[in-house]
């Protein structure tokens, strides 16, 4: 990140999140090819919805770590909803064989972990995600 703060017409902000979610039943379906495609889908979704993914990593082929920045008008739950919903739908469309490994047509677990990141711990979160 070049500048710690993002400046907009009506506000200046530095809002960052560490987000983690898992594949349903922790199935190891996120192979290298699927993980690469997933990262592209997540980046495109973030761009379309107005927030930024700084770091993205797939761990143990069954969960996703993200370092995300967003303006204050975008709710954290909306970010997760968009990322999980759009990526799940596109992965199922592009890889119908995934459905045979999961039940009920759901790729992601319904829950997620989210944490706000202060500027002092930002570098530690980046290192953690990059080492997944």
Question: Are the C-beta atoms of residues 79 and 50 closer than 8 Å to each other?
Answer: no
pLDDT of residue 71: 95
Within the chain, which residues score under 70 in pLDDT?
A: 1-3, 119-120
pLDDT of residue 2: 53
pLDDT of residue 105: 78
pLDDT of residue 103: 80
Q: Could you tell me the domains of the chain? A: 6-130 (3.30.70.1290)
- For the entire predicted model, the pTM comes to 0.88
Rounded-to-integer distance, Cα 47 and Cα 53, Å = 9
Rounded-to-integer distance, Cα 29 and Cα 74, Å = 30
Catalytic site residue 5? no
Partners of 59 in the β-ladder: 63
Rounded percentage of the chain residues whose pLDDT exceeds 90: 75
- The active-site residue out of 5, 13, 103, 128 is 128
pLDDT of residue 1: 43
pLDDT of residue 30: 97
């Amino acid at each position: 990140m070049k500048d710690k703060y993002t400046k907009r017409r009506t506000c200046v902000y530095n809002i960052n999140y560490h987000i983690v979610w898992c594949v349903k039943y922790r199935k190891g379906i996120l192979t290298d090819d699927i993980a690469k495609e997933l990262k592209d889908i997540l980046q495109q979704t973030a761009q379309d919805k107005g927030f930024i993914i700084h770091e993205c990593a797939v761990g143990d082929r069954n969960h996703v770590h993200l370092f995300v920045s967003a303006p204050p008008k975008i709710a954290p739950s909306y970010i997760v909803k968009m990322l999980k919903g759009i990526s799940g739908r596109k992965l199922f469309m592009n890889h119908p064989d995934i459905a045979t490994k999961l039940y009920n047509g759901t790729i992601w677990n319904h829950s997620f972990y989210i944490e706000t990141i202060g500027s002092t711990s930002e570098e530690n979160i980046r290192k953690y995600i990059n080492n997944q």
